[in-house]
């Protein structure tokens, strides 16, 4: 295993901790600035996950086809979640602050809405696909199990959200806690003896 895998895993852990802190600060304060930080951390977290999962995948022997498919899925997550959150930060919330009547179906955090559907597609469908692709291509039993579990949880959350919004939280466990567990697993793996 390359040292770059451990660096990617450490960056993933740091980003996850900062993300969970930003969520906690918003939930405690309800502050608009805290919401902006949370939304920016969501986008930054998607980028960190893209880089981290690609580095880990390559370090654990994933072939070129799976790496390309993984790149496409992770890029889908980054692009779509960026659209949702930058629209919220740059358009929806400033219009609401000016007193404009914004229909609920345009707001993030309200379901059903266009922004939440975009975010659920990014994190449920595309991130779920990324974890399944990682499972299919990666070497290492523990990471395969973690990847499969994360992918299944993301898909359950994505599909379930159309029937009951609370089912979405399965995806949060998949990409949120699952990726954290994956990074910890990579960080704790001992170097292979040659």
**Would you give per-residue pLDDT tens digits along the chain (194 residues)?**
578 899 999 999 999 999 999 999 999 999 999 999 999 999 999 999 999 999 999 999 999 999 999 999 999 999 999 999 999 999 999 999 999 998 988 887 777 889 999 999 999 999 999 999 999 999 889 999 999 999 999 999 999 999 998 999 999 999 999 999 999 999 988 655 44
Residue among 101, 75, 1, 93 nearest 39 (CA): 93
Residue 194 is assigned to a structural domain of this protein: no
Q: Report pLDDT for 106.
A: 86
Q: Report pLDDT for 2.
A: 76
Residue 193 is assigned to a structural domain of this protein: no
Q: Report pLDDT for 194.
A: 42
Q: Domain range for residue 70? A: 3-188
Entry pTM: 0.92
CA distance 88 to 1: 40
Residue 42 is assigned to a structural domain of this protein: yes
How many structural domains compose the chain?
Answer: 1
Residues 6+ apart with CB under 8 A from 39: 85, 88, 89, 108
Residue 76 is assigned to a structural domain of this protein: yes
Residue 149 is assigned to a structural domain of this protein: yes
Residue 142 is assigned to a structural domain of this protein: yes
């Amino acid at each position: 295993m390359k040292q770059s895998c451990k660096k990617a895993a450490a960056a993933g852990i740091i980003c996850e901790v900062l993300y969970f802190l930003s969520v906690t600060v918003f939930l405690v304060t309800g502050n608009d600035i805290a919401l902006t930080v949370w939304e920016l951390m969501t986008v930054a977290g998607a980028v960190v996950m893209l880089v981290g999962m690609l580095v880990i995948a390559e370090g654990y022997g994933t072939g070129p086809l799976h790496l390309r498919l993984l790149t496409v899925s992770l890029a889908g997550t980054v692009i779509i979640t960026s659209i949702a959150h930058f629209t919220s930060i740059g358009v929806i919330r400033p219009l609401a602050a000016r007193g404009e009547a914004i229909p609920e179906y345009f707001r993030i955090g309200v379901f059903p809405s266009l922004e939440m559907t975009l975010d659920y597609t990014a994190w449920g469908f595309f991130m779920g696909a990324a974890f399944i692709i990682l499972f299919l291509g990666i070497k290492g039993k523990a990471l395969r199990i973690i990847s499969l579990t994360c992918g299944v949880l993301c898909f359950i959350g994505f599909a379930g959200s159309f029937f009951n919004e609370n089912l979405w939280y399965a995806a949060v466990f998949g990409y949120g806690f699952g990726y954290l567990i994956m990074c910890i697993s990579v960080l704790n793996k001992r170097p292979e003896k040659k």
